[in-house]
Structure 1
């Protein structure tokens, strides 16, 4: 008798980290359940300030379309002939409008899938945390929706709690989030959370409205899959599971794309340089696909590295130079931005480069510490490879991630917890003028000084207590995803949930 095949419809957000994580969980599900197949509906990216330049994402999508994945297929969704304009002054709302404009095209594709002769039963939608508007489309077809939450359980609990404060207790969230010295007890955290690490999103009316809308939509899901594991976020996951107002939560992580660590990197110049370094001797600085700094901050980082005396690899990116991409690029000549003579003085111990394959570097035996922007994928990668992080959050929920890792869990050291960079709301010419004014001391821009950076670098390289905890969590992260592990079992329960939907 033929095996019944259940279909899942995946809808990732048009950001590289979101799409890659989605593909990894899709591959995991089909490898574990031979009666499942998955159709991924791909939103073609536009250059926008929330997800960055579309070029890297487009390249990745093109590579997927050329690859063969057993029981995973891809459909690129149509777009409006005149897509919504990305408004730099309202980036969150613009992104939401852009994603939501694809609902009608999702509806058309799913209708075709259902009406096709011999079609498989659709067991569920699996939508990214930014694509929860698609829940309404799934409801039209009476199909349950699952959310793939690409951040952590602590932040998921934070979202629900802020929404409860606003909707049920009529708390003025704007006033709360702008309080610089308040501490708030949040159920998904053991320790009080300072308002200074609240995301910048909820410090504006426009951002707060989208944030609250997203939290309300999350409550409509049948279940939420979170890229974390029980041993890492025990308290947060249990607090979510015990709250009957929240959909069931499946901790399925760490979901990581480790191909960059396993692939042939021998031709990479940075990897060759690392091969020549002593084991566990290098600090690696990387601030994500959207991370860059103005010249005055770059010089402070350089001074800190030079004073520390540690070997280093520094992924140095150039801030956006035009209104189209709003994404960092590589410098043709980094010496133009660095202190005079820095490259010559550090030639024996340091490597300044542009974009690097982060996973491959974290996996390298020479790397001992990681200065990170605290994107959740990056933190999971660093834990997987047992490399302690020094936190330097920039945007989105990264400040809360940094707080959780340093204060709540003791798995990282602090450079900053509350650093926030205005990624989107300055025109390029304003940024240039502002940088010049900073140099002349006319603007009180937040600059992290060399002394503070050096302290963080020294601690991430020397704090053996944190290093021991990170090594232990590395072992737990790997155990969680194999047979008998907590996330392995969670995926089993999730698959059973999917299958029950078609019977």
Structure 2
């Protein structure tokens, strides 16, 4: 239960969830951005229920930006000069940001790990507009990072603002991913065969992290139940410390067994969308069922 969204841990939230699930039963079919080989048990479970047909049609990815690398060419030029699978990517989505205290701990953990890195650092929106506007980039990230961090890690890592996550994951130098565990990020990391260590922030991300680490064994645990700006019983904001960050980075970069499992799932994810693959076939079933309903 600790990885459930806070909304669902209260009666009003559970009532809303039950109502939403009831509405789903009225649909003619449900399309899901996943694939049979990834979530076999969950997908097969639906066949024995009174739910509408479930069509796993993923992974659905926007790969248009991979070839262009149109954002920060300096970062990609640097990545192209690094050894294979030697760089850890830290990227937390379009709404993923941290306060200064947490950023400093991440920086210390990164530096202590000794691994090459690319880190996307975003500035939080004003507190009163936290869910109304997206983050912006810092004019100078030195204002929130430890003194001398950028100078000490020059040549070892890059601190950047917003970047296309898919383009970065596609680069062969990227060998690990510290992620907020949004579902798009999870699907993309599997497609490119990049193992993930989990640092979920809000909503369903804790559940995604739990599934990837505990259920599927396709990610390593930095944190499973972390929620940004949560207050502990002593009244202090919960912070993931540098030691935990260092451990998570070392785990994802040095676990060759995990890397092999993720690579195997990467091959499955690509096979599923070509002719004869499970998602390709699922789309075919969807079209046939739609035509049957029209006729």
1:68-88 superposed Cα distances (whole Å, 9 cap, x missing partner): xxxxxxxxxxxxxxxxxxxxx
For 1:235 and 1:341, locate their aligned partners in 2 and report how far apart those are by CA, in whole Å: 49
Residue 265 of structure 1 pairs with residue 70 of structure 2: yes
Partner residue in 2 for 1:394: 201
Distance 1:205 1:329, change over 3 A: farther
Q: Is the 8 A contact 1:370 1:389 kept in 2?
A: yes
In structure 1, stretches of 5+ residues that fail to align are 1-194, 424-433
Q: 4+ residue stretches of structure 1 with deviation over 6 A?
A: none
- Aligned with 1:299 (options 104, 117, 120): 104
Partner residue in 2 for 1:414: 221
Count of residue pairs brought into register by the alignment: 292
For 2:47 and 2:167, locate their aligned partners in 1 and report how far apart those are by CA, in whole Å: 35
Q: Is the 8 A contact 1:265 1:271 kept in 2?
A: no
Residue 450 of structure 1 pairs with residue 256 of structure 2: no
1:292-341 superposed Cα distances (whole Å, 9 cap, x missing partner): 11111111100000000100000011111264434321111100000011
Distance 1:447 1:233, change over 3 A: same
In structure 2, stretches of 5+ residues that fail to align are none
Give 1:265 deviation, angstroms.
3.4
1:177-211 superposed Cα distances (whole Å, 9 cap, x missing partner): xxxxxxxxxxxxxxxxxx11111221345433332
For 2:72 and 2:179, locate their aligned partners in 1 and report how far apart those are by CA, in whole Å: 25
Distance 1:266 1:373, change over 3 A: closer
Partner residue in 1 for 2:88: 283
Distance 1:270 1:339, change over 3 A: same
Q: Is the 8 A contact 1:200 1:420 kept in 2?
A: no
Partner residue in 2 for 1:81: none
Partner residue in 2 for 1:385: 192
* Structure (1 or 2) with the larger CA radius of gyration: 1
Q: Is the 8 A contact 1:371 1:391 kept in 2?
A: yes
Give 1:242 deviation, angstroms.
1.9
1:46-57 superposed matches below 5 A: none
- Aligned with 1:366 (options 169, 173, 176): 173
Partner residue in 2 for 1:196: 2
Q: Is the 8 A contact 1:281 1:368 kept in 2?
A: yes
1:44-92 superposed Cα distances (whole Å, 9 cap, x missing partner): xxxxxxxxxxxxxxxxxxxxxxxxxxxxxxxxxxxxxxxxxxxxxxxxx
Give 1:498 deviation, angstroms.
1.1
TM-score when scaled to structure 2? Answer: 0.94
- Aligned with 1:242 (options 21, 32, 48): 48
Residue 346 of structure 1 pairs with residue 138 of structure 2: no
Give the 3-state SS of the residue equivalent to 1:444 in structure 2.
coil
Give the 3-state SS of the residue equivalent to 2:168 in structure 1.
helix
Q: Which has the higher contact order (CA 8 A, sep 6+)?
A: 2
Q: Is the 8 A contact 1:391 1:413 kept in 2?
A: yes
Residue 218 of structure 1 pairs with residue 24 of structure 2: yes
Q: Is the 8 A contact 1:395 1:421 kept in 2?
A: yes
Give 1:219 deviation, angstroms.
1.3
TM-score when scaled to structure 1? Answer: 0.56
